[in-house]
């Protein structure tokens, strides 16, 4: 039918159709119907050959005008539909960057790490720096230099893990306490010292209150006029800061360690009622740490003159103070890596106000 239409009418019809399509596929269908091999415009052009020569020029110009108008309209419409499609896609794929993120499963800080951080922060504020030593020690640093000679009964108390001899004849062992770090510090750097040494320690022992590997933190202060009063003040400040009880009562009980003289054990005041332990209240006592004035023999063993340098040392179990502060009843659970235990007793990494006083608040 279209063949019979005038070029003007054809143009008007096709332009109307083009304007009416709402998607690219329909537009393509119109293009094929108009400009395709068998399209109405194409046929119109081909019909030119059948016309008498005198009509061809005018008709040819009219046909060309149709073709141009339709091609152009299709291009324009295509541009508009493309832009609209892009707009729609952008709108659909839009991401609201202001929405809060979905919570990701995050890990927890192990109570041992948390406690170590707290201890380091407290002693750090008092001016201590952190020192380290190896887990695999030798007899000299772990015992002999600490005034525990070969036949000393204290060696039996330590239930040492011995390693095969290294060939050079030096007996290796897993350190039974962090005290060898005292020796390493004094032998490698000149005094004065104010160090703490947190780390792993090992004893061949395993029951409800002992694990073969556990953690201690050692403290050493050596200066020219350091005395027992400094030891007392330092440990009092520390215990009060760590347990977050300002008037925490402390008791210094005489004790014995081969490497300190005099030696003491430090107890903190507590109440035990109905299986519940309350720190800082009541009239009961709980042992917390061992301490004393560094034995002159230890200073001599490290090349220091006890007539010039004196000081104090202390050591405490990290699991023990973590259990007390955070109410963890069983020592063994620290090392079972039970994810339920870790998510219950562990600490969030980021939402803590400070290292000192790590209780989530
Ligand atoms: N090293 C002792 C222990 O493991 C603790 C301690 C350290 C005691 C320093 C006094 C001075 O039991």
What is the rounded distance in angstroms from the CA atom of residue 232 to the CA atom of residue 336? Answer: 36
Q: Which atom of ligand 1 is nearest to the CA of 263?
A: 10
How many CB atoms are located within 10 Å of the residue 11 CB?
Answer: 20
Whether 349 contacts 109, CB under 8 Å: yes
The pair of structure tokens assigned to 65 is 């005008």
Mean pLDDT of 259-281: 92
Mean pLDDT of 157-181: 86
Evaluate if pTM is beyond 0.85: no
- Specify the CATH number for 111-345; select among 3.30.420.40, 3.40.50.300, 3.30.930.10, 2.40.10.120: 3.30.930.10
Residue nearest to atom 5 of ligand 1 (CA): 315
Q: Which atom of ligand 1 is nearest to the CA of 177?
A: 4
Phi, psi of 255 (to 5 degrees): -150, -170
Q: Which atom of ligand 1 is nearest to the CA of 201?
A: 4
The pair of structure tokens assigned to 28 is 């393509």
For the cut 70, the answer to whether the pLDDT of residue 355 exceeds it is: no
CA of 257 to the centre of ligand 1 (A): 7
CA of 69 to the centre of ligand 1 (A): 99
Residue nearest to atom 2 of ligand 1 (CA): 315
CA-to-CA dists, residue 229 to 90, 209, 215, 226, 235, angstroms:
74, 32, 27, 8, 10
Alpha helices (H) in 279-333, listed in sequence order? 296-301, 318-326
Q: Give, rounded to a whole angstrom, the gap between the first and last alpha carbons of the chain.
A: 85
CA of 109 to the centre of ligand 1 (A): 27
For the cut 70, the answer to whether the pLDDT of residue 350 exceeds it is: no
Mean pLDDT of 329-352: 87
Digit-coded pLDDT (tens) for 219-244: 999 999 999 999 999 999 999 999 99
Mean pLDDT of 160-173: 82
b/e string for 113-134 if b means 16 or more Cβ within 10 A?
Answer: ebbbbbbbbbbeeeebebbebe
Q: Which of 160, 175, 178, 259 to probe ligand 1 with, by most ligand atoms within 8 A of CB?
A: 259
pLDDT at residue 4 in the model: 53
Ligand 1 interacting residues, C-beta cut-off 6 A: 177, 179, 218, 257, 260, 290-292, 313-315
Residue nearest to atom 4 of ligand 1 (CA): 177
| 5-14, 142-151, 279-288, 344-353: least confidently modelled range | 344-353
| 41-45, 125-129, 224-228: least confidently modelled range | 41-45
DSSP string covering 184-198: HHHHHSPSPEEEEEE
CA of 195 to the centre of ligand 1 (A): 14
Domain range annotation of the chain: 7-92, 111-345
Task: Quickly tell me which residue has 């103070």 as its tokens.
Answer: 321
- By C-alpha distance, which of 111, 100, 24, 43 is closest to 330? 111
């Amino acid at each position: 039918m279209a063949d019979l239409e005038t070029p003007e009418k054809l143009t008007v019809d096709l332009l109307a159709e083009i304007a009416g399509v709402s998607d690219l596929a329909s537009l393509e269908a119109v293009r094929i119907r108009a400009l395709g091999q068998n399209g109405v415009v194409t046929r119109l052009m081909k019909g030119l050959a059948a016309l008498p020569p005198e009509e061809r020029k005018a008709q040819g110009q009219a046909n060309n005008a149709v073709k141009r108008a339709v091609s152009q309209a299709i291009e324009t419409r295509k541009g508009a539909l493309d832009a609209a499609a892009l707009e729609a896609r952008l709108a659909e794929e839009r991401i609201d960057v202001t929405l809060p993120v979905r919570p990701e499963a995050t890990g927890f800080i192990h109570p041992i790490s948390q406690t170590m951080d707290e201890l380091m922060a407290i002693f750090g504020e008092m001016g201590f720096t952190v020192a380290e030593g190896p887990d695999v020690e030798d007899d000299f640093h772990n015992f002999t230099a600490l005034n525990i000679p070969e036949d000393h009964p204290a060696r039996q108390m330590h239930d040492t893990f011995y390693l095969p001899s290294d060939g050079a004849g030096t007996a290796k062992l897993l350190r039974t306490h962090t005290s060898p770090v005292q020796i390493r510090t004094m032998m490698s750097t000149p005094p004065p010292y104010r160090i703490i040494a947190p780390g792993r320690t090992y004893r061949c022992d395993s029951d409800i209150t002992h694990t073969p590997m556990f953690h201690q933190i050692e403290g050493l202060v050596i200066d020219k006029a350091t005395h027992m009063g400094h030891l007392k003040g330092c440990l009092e400040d520390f215990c009060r800061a760590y347990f977050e009880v300002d008037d925490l009562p402390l008791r210094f009980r005489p004790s014995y360690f081969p490497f300190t003289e005099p030696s003491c054990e430090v107890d903190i005041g507590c109440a035990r009622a109905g299986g519940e332990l309350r720190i800082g209240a009541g009239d009961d006592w709980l042992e917390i740490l061992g301490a004393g004035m560094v034995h002159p023999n230890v200073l001599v063993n490290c090349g220091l003159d006890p007539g010039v340098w004196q000081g104090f040392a202390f050591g405490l179990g990290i699991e023990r103070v973590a259990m007390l502060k955070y109410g963890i009843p069983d020592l063994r659970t620290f090392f079972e890596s039970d994810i339920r235990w870790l998510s219950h007793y562990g600490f969030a990494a980021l939402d803590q106000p400070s290292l000192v006083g790590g209780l989530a608040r």
